[in-house]
Amino acid sequence: MNLSFYFAKRLLHKDKWTLSATIAKIAIVGVSLGVIVLILSFAITTGFRQEIQNKVVGFGSHINIVHYDNNNSYQQMPIEADESVKTAIAALPNVKNIQAFSTIAGIVRGTEDIEGLVFKGVGTDYDTTFFAKNIVRGRFLSVNDSSFSNEILISETLSRKLQIDIGDKIEAFFIQNTLRQRKFTIVGIYNTGLVNYDETYLVCDINQVQKLHNWTANKIEGWEVLINDFDELENTAAVVNKLVNFDMQVLTVKEISPMIFDWIDLVNQNVFILIILIVVITSISLISTQLTFILENIATIGIMKTMGCPTKTIANIFLYISTNILLKGLLVGNIVGLLFCFVQQHFHLIKLNPMYYYMSYVPIQVEVGHIFLINVGVFIISLLALVLPAYWVAQRISAIKAVAMK
């Protein structure tokens, strides 16, 4: 039998009301809390990043191809809808879909109020997956290439503000060389949680926008490109840039919405700092517990030394004790942390203000790789932090003085 393991087992299961036993329980709770916080930090950060990415990309795209004038208005110069370019981009391995869009600014009159808004025109090639998940009432508008559709999709925010609902007809006014008026029928109401988008955009038929701009059918504001792997965003954008015409520019979602992605990066940095603090605190807690066990059993250590027991064997006793505490803390922390993630993911108990966080609840996304990294990282770093104190103290203890302390 392993002598160190035998003594460690005896010390752990002796009187449960000793100081060391109490501190061991506190250490288990401390490790558990640290693991819980780490699991939640990773799950929440990943959830936030994924949710915001999906929302921003879902409303627009990963990559935009527009005219090279690069102005900040909602009425940019049109580009030629070159089918050869579209086909070449669609054939790229990381491209999921390429869709035409055009926008125009207008004024909408509701029941008791008017609002300046942006009409985003989409066609038959538009991927409706995002809106299918975010429509709260009604349906997505029906469009086709051969006729004009008067159907329109509005946000829940605008529906409340303008006091309009599904089935209502609204009047819209467009100021260009002359004042133009159009009537639209509301067929669907969506809620993305992205307040800036929900308060600004309506979705309509691209044919309507082209006609209001006096563009021909082959003139559009741009293309939106959806990709499969977000990590390959820059590489895909670089390839797309080589395929487009000289008067077009390629913009990634990070360039279009830099503030949102800067905010995500800031959250990631804060989590990294939190991880370092938790690992340090957990290691200190375990070292304190280990030293308590050593001090409480210092006479036993003295007797073992007088019997010729090696320093390594004595040090390993307390390393086994600390490892036992560490593993129990990891087990409890994983169970409680994952249970909390499950509850929040399915019941959304913790709410958020969408005005500031772009969503109404704390998003959770648990990844197996993160759980593995947390457990292995905490275990290895804590164990490495425990080795030096255990061996240093065991070596420094004098057998004669230790026995005399009894």
Q: What is the pLDDT of residue 393?
A: 78
pLDDT for res 154: 96
| Positions in the chain whose pLDDT score sits under 50 | none
Residue 404 burial (C-beta neighbours within 10 Å; 0-12, 13-18, 19+): exposed
What are the pLDDT digits (tens) for 179-192?
A: 899 999 999 999 98
DSSP 363: -
pLDDT at 75: 62
> 31 Cβ partners below 8 Å, 6+ apart?
282, 285, 286, 325, 326, 328, 329, 330, 332, 333, 378, 382
- Sign of the Cα torsion 187, 192, 193, 194 reads negative
Output the pTM of the full model.
0.82
Q: Quote the distance between the C-alpha of residue 233 and its chain's center.
A: 17
CA dihedral (153, 159, 162, 168) in degrees, to 10, reads 60
Nearest-angstrom CA–CA distance, 192 and 275: 31
Angle at 355 between CA 354 and CA 357, to 5 degrees: 55
Here the tokens at position 342 are 């499950």
Phi, psi (degrees; rounded to nearest 5) at 106: -155, 175
Which pLDDT score, from 0 to 100, does residue 253 have? 95
CA distance 116 to 174: 10
Delimit the domains of the chain by residue range: 3-55+261-404, 69-245
Residue 291: predicted pLDDT: 84
Give the pLDDT score at 404: 59
Of 14, 4, 2, the C-alpha closest to 296 is: 14
